[in-house]
Structure 1
Amino acid sequence: MIEELWILPPLASARLGSSNIPCGNFCWGPSDTSPGGSGKTTLVPLESLELTSDGEVTLIPADREVVFKDKAADGSWRFRPVCPFFEVHGRWRVDGKLEEGPVTEAVLAKAGLKLADVRWTVELANLKAYQFTLDDADRVECVVELSGDDTKRTPLLAASIKGEVGKRLIPDGVTIPVGEIQLSKPTPDFPELRLRFYPPSASSTAQRISLSG
């Protein structure tokens, strides 16, 4: 029986970007204090994970350098978005023995469950305006529910659904894109249950600003 579930990491940061390629993983390296060095902290590229269109996880080897932006055909530079992963961990008992770790299909099977029995609920809100006015009409939010076997990319469309009609920050019947989410498809190499968040592109951000007035 699965006794407890939680998400790791409990907190992550995303970053907007107009490039179609997510930024790869990296960590802080030692400061460059060599003779003639910059004295600045260096960055060390790490292996990254990527999701295919159907949610299969692929491993991207560490690059020789950390790439933050790509050059477009028109000569402009497009920053790569930061798209964090979230992984389901839990605690369960097998033959009376307590175990914990990443939740996989094998763990679900021991509890008599299937991947389709898993339900994800993603709630996202932009409360910047609301924090100034404390008016529910200025809340921008959305809620999306997914079955554990639904691995296609799903758009997050936010709206103003509370407060007085006619005074809502986003007009009734209008939504704005605030990103996308995608569940991973468990495989023998990557059996964990993961969700990835993709922040909205620069163009959709401009649309949001326009609609917000």
Structure 2
Amino acid sequence: MHTILEVYFLPPMAIARLGSSDTPMESFTWTENPSVFGGDMTIIAPQVSLEVREDGSLHPYLPQLIRFRDGKSLRPVAPFFELWATVQSGKDGTIKEVPLTLELLVELGASTENIRYRVTAGNRKASFRTGDPACSYTAMVEVAGNDCKRYPLLAYSRHTAGQAPLVLKDRPIPLGDFQVMRPSGETKLDVDLSQLRVRFTPAKGKVYGPPSAIAGPASPLPPGEAAAPLSEAGRVHEIVQV
């Protein structure tokens, strides 16, 4: 019998890339060109990738071709995060790091139903420039470990009385999607599908701004000065999709 000392994600950090295609990028690595005329050039080589099925289960496969776009739409880079645990043996007290799998959960008398994921995504760039927390916008969701639906991360500006929010709650900006993968007891192409995983899919890369952003007129105010939160022309902080 093992005791869990710590639970964490691996990798601890990943880079996602925006893309308007509905199909995410497949996995690849950089390697040396094996051809006679390759010299010191590098090429990309497909690696085992994971297809997410409608029920949230995973299908490992090896792509034959790597596509970066579908027509004019870039494929997003949507990273997976694996759940790992530091466990201690009840027999000899040894400590080791292991993937958190269905088998380990059963050993502990638990299931995916006992797991909760709390996700917070946000954009605070504008608030750093203005010094106003209401100019940031965040999305927060909580998902059960056995809930494999895809949840959108819809962000808006949380604010207090007297603050002008940059993004209204009834007109949120999507920051991507979060989904819990459905584990199974199989191993395919050396991928242990019983391990618990989640996926973050970034947003489409749409552009947002004030209604006048298309025309882009210069501000009539001197540098360093800002208009009042409300004006006769409407909300200064009104944000629309351009």
1:128 aligns with 2:125: yes
1:212 aligns with 2:203: no
Seq. identity, %: 33
1:100, CA displacement in angstroms? 2.4
Q: Which residue of 1 aligns with 2:82?
A: 87
1:195 aligns with 2:202: no
* TM-score normalised to structure 2 length: 0.76
The number of aligned residues is 203
> Does the aligned pair in 2 maintain the 1:32–1:39 contact within 8 Å?
no
After TM superposition, which residue ranges in structure 1, 4 or more long, deviate above 2 angstroms? Answer: 31-35, 37-41, 93-100, 162-166, 171-174, 208-213
> Does the aligned pair in 2 maintain the 1:70–1:78 contact within 8 Å?
yes
In structure 1, runs of 5+ residues without a counterpart are 72-76
> How far, CA to CA, are the matches of 1:84 and 1:42 in structure 2?
22
In structure 2, runs of 5+ residues without a counterpart are 187-192, 211-237
Q: Which residue of 2 aligns with 1:74?
A: none
RMSD of aligned Cα (Å)? 2.2
> How far, CA to CA, are the matches of 1:84 and 1:165 in structure 2?
39
Q: Which has the higher contact order (CA 8 A, sep 6+)?
A: 1
> Does the aligned pair in 2 maintain the 1:138–1:160 contact within 8 Å?
yes
> How far, CA to CA, are the matches of 1:79 and 1:43 in structure 2?
17
User: What's the CA shift string for 1:12-35, capped at 9, x where partnerless?
Assistant: 011111111110001111268954
> Does the aligned pair in 1 maintain the 2:32–2:40 contact within 8 Å?
no
User: What's the CA shift string for 1:137-169, capped at 9, x where partnerless?
Assistant: 111111111110000111111010135545111
Q: Which residue of 2 aligns with 1:23?
A: 25
* TM-score normalised to structure 1 length: 0.86
1:126, CA displacement in angstroms? 0.6
- For 1:212, the aligned partner's letter is I
1:209, CA displacement in angstroms? 4.0
Q: Which has the larger radius of gyration?
A: 2
1:139 aligns with 2:141: no
